[in-house]
Chains A and B, each alone.
Chain A
Amino acid sequence: MVPRRILFTRLIDFMASQGYRVVDESIGEGFIRFRDSSREVVLRVVEDTSRDEVLSTVIQAAFDAASGKAAYVAMPIELVSKIGDHAFRIHRIGVLVYDSHSVFELVSGEPRGKAKQAAINKEDRNDERFAVMLESLSARLTRLEEAMARLALLDELRTRLDILEGMVLSQKTRKAVEEERSGKPAQVEVVKEPVEHAETGRELPSFLRENPWLDILSGKSS
């Protein structure tokens, strides 16, 4: 037989796993009261398998149920196999069965339909939570994608700036050479060399740089 203290601890753990917290317990009188957010549960424990004790416990549980509480009875497995669970189901008294190792619920003490509803509510709450999380993740992803697109645009602009700087440089040099040839004093403005982005690998391939075809081809129109 499982010592009473240990048995009570196991029963409390089991009910806690179902979402109930202990509000009162009496090892001597053999009951534990629990609550969740909406209602009270009274669990009465049967240890002695004598007819009197079983009857007394079941009657008390029936009173608990009649007074609007959820009523449970915890019984050893060998007793349940003798008396069956039919009467408990009819009277909506929950049955927890225990042996020397574990506790499990044989009959639910929830009002009919309520257990199912509770499970559905729980699922709904989870769905809601996941939906919120997904929405937040999706918003973050969108912001990231927008940031990436802006970075790519920045890259493109830097590349084009490099090309323009290169074009200005070569134009100025050409002009200076022409003026020198024609005898005019050359006024060469020093233009900063286009910045190379070798370290970032963002420079244009060599066959694109200073390619006269770029002007010819970019001027095409339908």
Chain B
Amino acid sequence: MFEEEYKRRYVFGADYGTSDFKYGPITQGEKPLVVENRGYFPEPSIVASILGTVREVVVGKDVPLFLESGADLATRLVYPMRSGTIAKDDSRSWRVIKELTLMALKEFRPGGFGFRGFYLVAALSAIAPRYMYETLFEIYREIAREDNLIHSATIIPQPLAVAIAHKTTSCVVVESGHGNTQVAPISRAPIRGAVVALNRGGSEANAITAEILKDAGYGDLAREEALVRRVKENLGLLPLDLDRAISYAKSNPEAVRAVYQVPGTRIKIDLGENSWARFLIGEYVFDPNHELFQSYFRRGMPRPRDAKVGDIVFYGMLNLADTIITSIERCPVELQPHLYGQVILSGGNFSWRPPEGLKGIAVDAETKLSRMLRQRGVENAKVTLSPEPQYAVWRGCIVFGYAVPANYQWSWERMEGWINLTKT
């Protein structure tokens, strides 16, 4: 009983997202702290060793202070979760994960009497293979041994956390990150056998945005990933129907034309007569099969390939509606209406805002997906966009840790429960 009270006081959530690491204890309230999920391996310097400030890896807010210019920046700056998974032998990525976790826990270590370590709930991608769980638990064990910061730990799939945060017990969570998209049905627990993954995420939308910039004469800017992402977010549109949207754009070029001024610079991006291509950016996330995309593939843009990681196949070209249907149809028939009745979209890839003047031509993600499902015979689908997708997983972690009893032990068959790390 006392352990239960202790656990509730010291629940700590850690969401290892593709771009950001969200963390904090239950006392953090509604929102976690957020830092970029990355680490920098600085070049060893004589000055640093003289000053005694040698650091193998730097994470969190300190990273910009250590960044050096130079061609090897790309190799020194590591984004461990970019593709949603970390290779077993990728020691540098695992090192970053350990350092980020340690930083987060230390930041909230309570002073005074009675603290025996946090009850840590971590969230990983639904397609994370078993070795990722094992390696992460090993890291937690080291932290518990070295710093007494973890009492017990558990790991849950991110879509389950999203469902918990949305207070929905039967639903399908579509979580789209930088490198991939996971569709995970939930019915009081994740239905692991029905998870379907796409080898497509924010990075593919960036790729087509870069191609569109090149076609519009901004080839030099297309090489800067951060700029391309901003152009995608500011100029990209999601069409209700791609053919109709392009035909509207070609007959009303001024209605679709937009100029993006990069804040703080003199750079203005005007797609001009190529403004119709704004619709390709959103469409590519939902369905890359339109014939228009073929010309980009022929010109060298990589086609999303099917890939296999562990037991999971990541589909490259499957459209989003078919992916959801495939996933739901792996579940019992009786459950399927409940799952169609609550499709939750989570992740920045679904934040499409239709401009006032293009109503009915450009739409939001819920409208687009509902239509795609209807076209495939699913009439009763209810698609909801997570209102604060960046925090949902962390919130789910906190609820999970708060509610699951402290004596519910981890089982590799069920893939849930607590591992007590205070026992040697």
Contact = CB atoms under 8 A, between A and B. Distances in A.
Asked whether A and B interact, the reply is yes
A116 B165 CA distance: 74
Interface stretch (A15-23, A72-80, A200-208): A200-208
B112 A145 contact: yes
A217 B402 CA distance: 9
A221 to B, nearest CB: 6
A151 to B, nearest CB: 12
Contacts of A205: 26, 29-30, 395, 398
B408 interface: yes
B354 interface: no
B337 interface: no
B399 A216 contact: no
A156 B9 contact: yes
Interface in B368-409: 395-396, 398-400, 402-405, 407-409
28 contacts: A148-B113, A153-B5, A156-B5, A156-B9, A205-B26, A205-B395, A205-B398, A208-B398, A208-B399, A212-B169, A213-B163, A213-B400, A213-B403, A214-B399, A214-B403, A216-B169, A216-B188, A217-B164, A217-B403, A217-B404, A218-B403, A218-B405, A220-B404, A220-B405, A220-B408, A220-B417, A221-B407, A222-B411
A214 B9 contact: no
Interface in A179-222: 205-208, 210-214, 216-218, 220-222
B407 A207 contact: no
A133 interface: no
Interface of B: 5, 8-9, 26, 29-30, 112-114, 163-165, 167, 169, 188, 395-396, 398-400, 402-405, 407-409, 411, 416-417
Nearest to A218: B403
A152 B9 contact: yes
Give the contact-size bracket for chain A.
Answer: 20 to 34
A217 B400 contact: yes
The 5 nearest A-B residue pairs measured at CB: A217-B403, A145-B113, A207-B395, A218-B403, A213-B164
Contact of B30 (A149, A207, A216, A217): A207
Contacts of A145: 112-114
Contact of B409 (A152, A217, A222): A222
A221 B404 CA distance: 9
Interface of A: 145, 148-149, 152-153, 156, 205-208, 210-214, 216-218, 220-222
Contacts of B400: 213, 217
Contacts of A214: 399, 402-403
Contacts of A213: 163-164, 167, 169, 399-400, 403
A211 B5 contact: no
A205 to B, nearest CB: 5
A170 to B, nearest CB: 13
A210 B169 CA distance: 13
A156 B8 contact: yes
A206 B403 contact: no
A210 B395 CA distance: 14
Given A217-B404, A220-B404, A207 B167 contact: yes
A195 B411 CA distance: 39
B9 A207 contact: no
A75 to B, nearest CB: 58
A142 B114 CA distance: 12
A216 B411 CA distance: 18
B113 A149 contact: yes
B375 to A, nearest CB: 32
A132 to B, nearest CB: 23
Contacts of B164: 211, 213, 217
B399 A211 contact: yes
